[in-house]
Amino acid sequence: MSKLKTPKRCNLWVERFLAITATVNLGLVAFDLSYVPWRDVYLQKLPKITHIYDPIKGIEAHRDTQKYLNTVAKLEKQVSVTGLTSPKVETQLSELRSLSAKMIISNPFVIAGKSGTLEKIKDLMRYHLGQESATQSFGIFWSQPYLLAHGWKQEINFFDQKIRPLMATNYYRKIGENGAPLDKFWELDLVFITLFALEFLVRIFSIKRQHHHLSWLETVLWRWYDLFLLLPFWRWLRVIPVLVRLDQAQLLDFQVVRQQLHRGIIANLAGEITEIVVVRVINQIQGSIKRGELTGWLRQQENLRPYIHLNNANEVEAIANLFLNALIYQILPKIQPEIIAIIRYNIEKVCRQLPISNNLLTLPGVGQVQNQLSEQLATQITTELYSFLFAAAKDSRSAELISQLVKKFNTVLASEFQQKQINLEVQTLLAQFLEEIKLNYIQHLSQEDIEQIIDQTRQMRTQSPAKK
């Protein structure tokens, strides 16, 4: 689908209202997901919240632990009225000893997955009483002699501060008809889903009116991220449309995030596309070599397809002429001393190989004369050769002969390549060479910092003057 202009948005205040509403919904989703795991924290820090939200998650106080805490509350009230030594207090203490033993045996914490809490309660009581048995520790703790000996207020404060908060965290969660724990959050979430569903329909029909050529599927995909607001499951994915809406409503600026996201995508795509292009080009060259098109290129005639010249120019001859001119006017003058040295060395080598040279070199002054003659002869040969090439370059007839030489060279070279053995060896070597280039270049490319190239491109774009 071609790139289209973004449809005109609603009033900015409407966009902001919807963005804030989506944010509130996301916050409720996050709170709902964290409620059961973090209920102990909410119970200690925000107990009123648990009273409101427990029914939504189907949570209610466990009857056994709640009965235990209610009995302790009755005991505290009875002691404040009749004192610790009254028969009614002893009856309630006996009941607490029985409830303690029952709690240790039946473990009412297991349903909520909080058996570790019961173990912590037992450890606290054993440590406080100095006993190895938790049942015996509770039996001693809820007795008149112990409470009279250690002080009622001190011991009941220990229970209220250490044991009661742990027992209060235990709960029972109802099971729904689907066999899963009861969860009524969907009733609260349905209000937001209905609102965003209506908004989504309005936006889709608006986009469809502006762009008739779009199919309904393409129109829906235009606002694909809003679909996450309509899903009753995977609610954590709503963070995507919320971030997009906050950015569109200009409440938050995610330009840096978008740039980094685009940067990573472009860097990966650039590296992969470049590797594909390079490998494809090399594969095409290898295929041409294996098909024998190399010799046809040298001869400028193809058996498989006609050779095409651009601007009626022979690039091979033009390159040869450029190389020859550079050789005569720029290269040879700079390397003349080295050429003279090579010629001089070879002249001296030839002279030493003459049979008479060994006898003459023994005479005084002959060696020095030989060196001088070699130097002069090498210089003269080099100068004459350069003068010949310089004059030939300016002579039209020489230029024509050189052109014929280049043509003849190409013809002979192509003819030699037609020999089966040479052609096969050259093709094999070139194919292997291109394979090495492929491996080495691609490896180098994969290690290259594509992001540096992106930075340079962005810098060039920002430095170039804007044209309207």
The model's pLDDT over 273-318, given as tens digits with 9 standing for 90+, comes to 666 666 666 776 767 666 666 555 555 544 444 555 555 656 656 6
**Which residues constitute the domain of residue 159?**
59-173
Report yes or no on 130 lying in a domain.
yes
Report yes or no on 91 lying in a domain.
yes
Read off the DSSP letter of residue 360.
H
Report yes or no on 148 lying in a domain.
yes
User: Looking at 15-63, which runs of residues are DSSP E strands?
Assistant: 59-61
Q: What was the pLDDT predicted at 301?
A: 45
Q: What is the pLDDT along the chain (468 residues), one digit of tens a residue?
A: 333 344 444 478 888 898 999 999 999 999 999 999 999 899 888 889 999 999 999 999 899 999 999 999 999 999 999 889 899 999 999 999 999 999 999 999 998 889 999 999 999 999 999 999 999 999 999 999 999 999 999 999 999 999 999 999 999 998 887 788 888 999 999 999 999 999 999 988 888 888 888 888 888 888 888 999 999 889 999 998 998 888 888 787 776 666 666 666 666 666 666 666 666 667 767 676 666 665 555 555 444 445 555 556 566 566 666 776 777 777 767 777 887 777 777 766 666 665 545 554 555 554 565 566 667 776 777 776 767 666 666 666 666 776 677 677 666 666 665 565 556 666 677 777 777 766 665 555 554 555 565 666 666 656 655 444
Q: What was the pLDDT predicted at 6?
A: 41
130: its two tokens:
């100095």
**β-sheet bridge partners, residue 173:** 59
pLDDT digits (tens, 9 = 90+) for 399-434: 677 667 767 766 666 666 556 555 666 667 777 777
Q: How many CB atoms lie within 10 A of CB 270?
A: 16
Report yes or no on 133 lying in a domain.
yes
Cβ contact 451:267 at 8 Å? yes
Report yes or no on 407 lying in a domain.
no
What are the DSSP calls for 229-295, one per residue?
GG-SS-GGGGHHHHHHHHHHTTSS--HHHHHHHHHHHHHHHHHHHHHHHHHHHHHHHHHHHHTTHHH
**Sign of the torsion formed by the C-alpha atoms of 298, 301, 303 and 304:** positive
Q: Which residue has the tokens 């020489």?
A: 398
Report yes or no on 187 lying in a domain.
no
What is the rounded CA–CA span in Å between residue 13 and residue 4? Answer: 25
Report yes or no on 419 lying in a domain.
no
Cβ contact 298:414 at 8 Å? yes
Cβ-count burial 320-342 (b if 16+ within 10 Å, e if not): bbeebeeebeeebeeeeeebbee
Report yes or no on 331 lying in a domain.
no
For the chain, the domain total comes to 1
**β-sheet bridge partners, residue 159:** none
Cβ-count burial 11-44 (b if 16+ within 10 Å, e if not): eeeebbebbebbbebbeebeebeebeeebeebbe
Helix axes 315-326, 396-417, angle to 10 degrees: 120
